[in-house]
Structure 1
Amino acid sequence: MRYRLTFAAGLAVGYVLGSKAGRERYEQLAAVTRRIAENPAVRNAGEAAVQTGREAAAKAVDAVGERTGYRLPPSVSARIRYPGGAGDTLDERSGRAG
């Protein structure tokens, strides 16, 4: 309950400050945000984070698959895509018919 109250208070404060600042300040903040997002260093950092996440997910999928022997119900394994390959499902990676 405490977290909900904190969130609601933050939302209320943000609304009040935003409404006092007005549209002009909003446009200024949006322009700064766009400029930051278009910065090559920021884009490279974002792409590196995505790549690191994909590699970690691939390792996690392999670790879980090895522990479970890739035993998933067909209805589940048909929906899970292996993050490291061209559309391979877990069953395809393990050699099982899916």
Structure 2
Amino acid sequence: MKVVTLAAGLAVGYVLGTRAGREKYEQIVAGARRASSHPRVVQAQEKAKEFVGTGTDAVTQKLASVNPEPTTTDLSDTAVPRPPRRKPVVTTPDVGTTPLV
């Protein structure tokens, strides 16, 4: 899906940014219409719509069969203990060393 969006964005950018004029624009539009009405593209669109539609129904049915009566648990009153804080590590410079300049 990201590739299709990228391709559409590139096409729109090309159309808006081109200086070739109306003729080139009409060629691009005609090519896009031919591509969108191609039988393989139409079939892929229908298959994707069917997959997305049945996929959500299948997930919903699966969840309903696993837990037929969902219950909610209110955790707002539950106190969660915090881990203890660490003491910061303090380092002291070595005595007798000369700094590098």
TM-score band by shorter chain is 0.3 to 0.5
Larger helix proportion of the pair: 1
Greater Rg over alpha carbons, structure: 2
| TM-score in terms of structure 2 length | 0.44
With normalisation by structure 1, the TM-score equals 0.45
